[in-house]
Amino acid sequence: MTTTDRPRISLLGTSALLFEAPGAFDLPHQRRIWALAATASKWPGIREAIPGITNMMLTFETPPRELDALIAALNDGWDAADSLAIGGREIRLPVTYGGEIGSSLQSVADHCGLSVDDVVSIHAAPLYTVFALGSHPGYCYLGGMDPRITMPRRQTPLQRSAGGSVSIGGSQTGISASPGPSGWHAIGHTSWTFFDPSWPTPAALAPGDTIRFEIERVIR
């Protein structure tokens, strides 16, 4: 087994550690990450095990004196991790494509050599999987976008993009949960609420949930 087949483990100062799985950015790898996170979150001294995109951050309640045992446990945990197929909920999300918030719809179409209608139907076709939460409160990283509507991120991020923006960044798509800066291209918006700190679980979606975008309207 070559070293590139092994996970990479690195420190984030003394408060956290990053575990990066080898292999592809796909659902089978992500399911193993979920399984590993479920296990590692129960280890003593661990505050949270946070899945990323085929990786996982562990934050420490108390930083371990010796890292060797933790590193060994992570390696063993990864080897033993069975694919955890989370039976998440399927969310149907009405989206208004185009319009003021989704003002990049035309430029995505132009960039990809497609019509606006094609971009909308290609974007709304797949069943997306929430791979991980991160970035800002309630934001979900989705897996499953059709590569035909890939568009590189902006050179200069927008200072403020609206909450609920449905955007494309590279080969990924996602929905911002609140207004903020963004380097992605907004092609539509939804009025759904993704995060509320007063809910028992503040984020509406969790890794393993699936999303299907419903075309509510297309503003050309």
Partner 1 sequence: MIEILSVTGPASVQDLGRFDQYRFGVGTSGAMDDVALRAGNILVGNDENAAGIEIPMLPFKLRFGRGMAFALTGADVEAEIAGRVIPPWWRSHARAGDILTIKAMPRGARLYLTVGGGIDVPMVLGSRSTQFRGEFGGWRGRPLQPGDILPCAVSTSTIGELGVEPAEITLARPNTGADETIVRVVIAGEYDGFDAATQALFWSSSWKITPQSNRYGYRLQGPAVKPKAPIEKRSHGIVPGVIQIPPNGQPIIQMRDAQTSGGYPKIATVIGADLWRVGQARLGSRLRFEQTAYADALAAEAEMSVYLDRLRTNVRLVEESRTCR
Q: What residues line the site for partner 1 (CB under 8 A)? A: 8, 10-16, 18, 20, 25, 47-57, 59, 63, 65, 67, 132-139, 141, 177-178, 180, 195, 197, 201-203
Nearer CB in complex with partner 1: 115/191: 191
What does residue 76 show for φ and ψ, rounded to 5 degrees?
-65, -40
Nearer CB in complex with partner 1: 113/201: 201
- Cβ of residue 17: shortest distance to partner 1, in angstroms? 10
- Cβ of residue 51: shortest distance to partner 1, in angstroms? 8
Residue type, 120: V
Is the Cα torsion angle 185, 191, 192, 195 positive or negative in sign?
positive
Helix (H, G, I), strand (E, B) or coil at 192: coil
Nearer CB in complex with partner 1: 34/97: 34
Q: Which residues contact 220 (CB under 8 A, 6 or more apart)?
A: 98, 116
Nearer CB in complex with partner 1: 126/134: 134
d(CA 21, CA 4): 10
- Closest to 109 in 3D by CA, of 181, 185, 48, 54: 185
- Cβ of residue 99: shortest distance to partner 1, in angstroms? 24
**Tokens 């951050």 — which residue?**
57
| 101's tokens | 């918030």
- Cβ of residue 104: shortest distance to partner 1, in angstroms? 21
- Cβ of residue 59: shortest distance to partner 1, in angstroms? 6
Nearer CB in complex with partner 1: 53/162: 53
- Closest to 10 in 3D by CA, of 78, 49, 58: 58
